[in-house]
Amino acid sequence: MVTQSRGVSLLELLVVLAIMALIAGLVLPTFGSGASTSELRSSARQLAAGLRAARSEAVSQRRETFLVLDLEGRRFKVDHNPREYALPPRIGLKLFTAQHDIIDEKTGSIRFFPDGGSNGGRITVASGERKFDVDVDWLTGRVAILE
């Protein structure tokens, strides 16, 4: 006796839905226009390293040192070092710093003093809803990355 199946079992339906979810999870992120979380984290770490280098230079050279940030060009440099560091083009940058260290609308700096202190500030690295804040403590010059 042959029985005819008139539908799909619940197990078959669950397997198909699981496969579709897996494919969507792998394919959809490649179509996103923003930067990945790893790019954001890498950019935040790169900025933090630059800030720490500027602080070290200020203390060792016993003079004020700046990290200059170009928001539009997405690049930065430490005061007397001619090398510029580029950041990924798909990230957004915001700079919060002292008013007298804002050069123009798209360029500003964070200043470090010979005693290790700073004018303080924050650089926000963002893409969509995801962001990392690179904070500089004004008193100690300590650099921290906050998610």
1 pLDDT tier (thresholds 50, 70, 90): low
Lowest mean pLDDT segment, chosen from 4-8, 46-50, 67-71, 106-110? 4-8
The answer to whether residue 48 scores a pLDDT higher than 60 is yes
pLDDT for position 27 = 76
Q: What are the helix and strand counts (H, E) for the chain?
A: 2, 9
Of 51, 74, 71, 5, which Cα lies nearest the Cα of 144?
A: 51
- In terms of pLDDT, which residue wins out, 24 or 52? 52
The answer to whether residue 30 scores a pLDDT higher than 70 is no
Give the model confidence (pLDDT) of 72-92 as tens digits: 999 999 988 889 999 998 899
Q: Which domains does the chain have, with CATH numbers?
A: 37-146 (3.55.40.10)
The pLDDT of 30-45, averaged and rounded, is: 79
Taking residue 123's Cβ as centre, other Cβ atoms within 10 Å add up to 28
The answer to whether residue 34 scores a pLDDT higher than 70 is no
pLDDT for position 8 = 78
- Locate 25 and state its tokens: 């999870």
Q: How far apart, in Å, are the Cα atoms of 24 and each of 29, 39, 53, 126?
A: 9, 22, 42, 24
Beta strands 92-96; 75-78: pairing state: unpaired
Residues 6+ away with beta carbon under 8 Å from 21: none
Question: Does an H or E element contain 123, and which?
Answer: strand 121-127
